[in-house]
Amino acid sequence: PGGAAVEAAGGGRRVLVIRPDASPGTCSVEMLSTLARARHASAAACFLTPEGESAALVAGVTATDVPIVQPDAWRGAWLRGRWRAAVAVRRARARWREAAASVQHELYRELRRHAGDERLPADFRRVLRETAHRCYDRSVARRAGAGPFPRRLLEAPSTFVWPPAATERARADAAARGVAPGAPVVAFEVCTRPDIAAAAVRVLEAEGYIVVRVGDRALSAPAVPGVVDLARGEAPARLDLYVLSIARFAVCGSAWLQQMTYLTNTPSLTITATDPFSAYPVRANGTFLFRTVVDLDSGRTLACAELLGEPYFRNRRNCGFRDATAADLIAALREMHHGVTRGWDDSDAQRAFRARVVEAAAALAPSVALAADWGPDDGFIGHGRLARVQAERVA
C-alpha cells in the first residue's frame, strides 16, 4: 500500500486522515492499518472517499472500537487539501528514490560488462565485480518501499461495521438471485481452468455449500456450472463485500481479494501463489497454494522448496506458471472445510515451512525487493499456512 495517514486535529482529538486507494484490496489494507494505528494512538480515523469501486467500502462505514469522523463539506475540503499536499511530497521522494536506483542499476550493468572483459587484469576485474554487486545492493535498497507489508497491523480482526441500508440492499439482490440469507456460501474467484474449477465446485456442493462468484469477471475464467454469479458480468465491490461477509470461506485468485477478506474477517484460500511471501496469509484462518512453476529454459518443474531460494527470484522472468492441479486444490478445499467446521491447526510440516519462509525472507531481503516488501513485518510473516498437501512435499 502506498498511502500513509496524515495526522490532523478535529473536535479536540487527533484524527488520522487517509484517502484509500482505488483498488478494493489496497483500500482494505489501508483502512485496517489506519484503524490499527488510530486504536494504538487513542485517535479517531477519517476516510476520504476514493474514486472507483473502493468508494463502496468507505461510504458510511463505522467501527466498534475507534471513532470514525465523517467530514462535512468545509472540513472535507480542508482535509483533502492536507492529504493532496502529503501525497505530492511522498511522490516526489519516491521519484527521487527511483531515479537514484536506476543510476545504481545502470552502473551495475556497465561494471558487470567490463568485469567480463578478459583483456583486463584479473585483480582489476575482481574489483569491478565487487563494486558492481555493491551498486546492485544499493539499487535494490533504494527501490524498496517505505516499509514491509503491514502484517502486524492486520493481525487483529476487523471491527468495521457496514451501513445497514447498504447491507440490506445487497442481501435483497443476493436473495433475488437465489442466495437465501443464512445459506452456507463459499465465495469463489474463478481464476483457474474450467475443468479444475468444475471439479472444485463439485466437491464444495457435496459438502452442502452454495458457490458464489466474486472478483474481476473480466480477468477470470468463463462461466462454470454450479457457480452463482450475482453481478452478471459486472464486478461491484458492494456485492463482493456482502458475499465475503456472509461466506464460510473464500477461494481467492488475486491479492486484492485476499486483502478484502481481512476487512470482512473471512477465512481464505489463495490458489495462485508464485512466491512464498506476497500471498502468505496474515491470520490463522488463511491458507495458500502454490501454482506449478516451470523453468522455461529446461522444462523442469520446480519443487516448492526451490521457491525459497535466491536462484528462483533471479530467474523468475524465465519461469512459466500453470494452475495448481485439481488434486491439490481439492485437498486444500477439504482442509478449509475442516478449518471452518472444526477449527484451525497446523501440521509439523506447515509449522516448519512457516519458519523457513521467515528465514528465507531475512536472507533475501537485501537483494530481492519482493522479499523486502512482502516478507515478515518485524519477524512476523503471519499465522496462516501453506496448504498441507504441498507442505508435506516440502517436508
> Which residue reads 478449518 in cell numbers?
339
The per-residue pLDDT for range 19-55, each reduced to its tens digit, is 888 888 889 999 999 999 999 999 999 888 887 778 8
Q: How confident is the model at residue 218 (pLDDT cuts 50, 70, 90)?
A: low
Over residues 256-281, the pLDDT tens digits come to 999 999 999 999 999 999 999 999 99
Measured CA to CA in angstroms, residue 56 lies from 16, 143, 317 at distances of: 20, 32, 36
Owner of C-alpha cell 502486524: 152
What's the pTM? 0.82
Q: Residue 270: name the closest of 379, 188, 391 by CA.
A: 188
Helix (H/G/I), strand (E/B), else coil: 300: coil
CA quadruple 36, 40, 42, 43: dihedral positive or negative? negative
The mean pLDDT of 306-314, rounded to a whole number, is 92
Strands 62-63 and 385-386: unpaired
Question: Which residues pair with residue 252 across a beta bridge?
Answer: 270
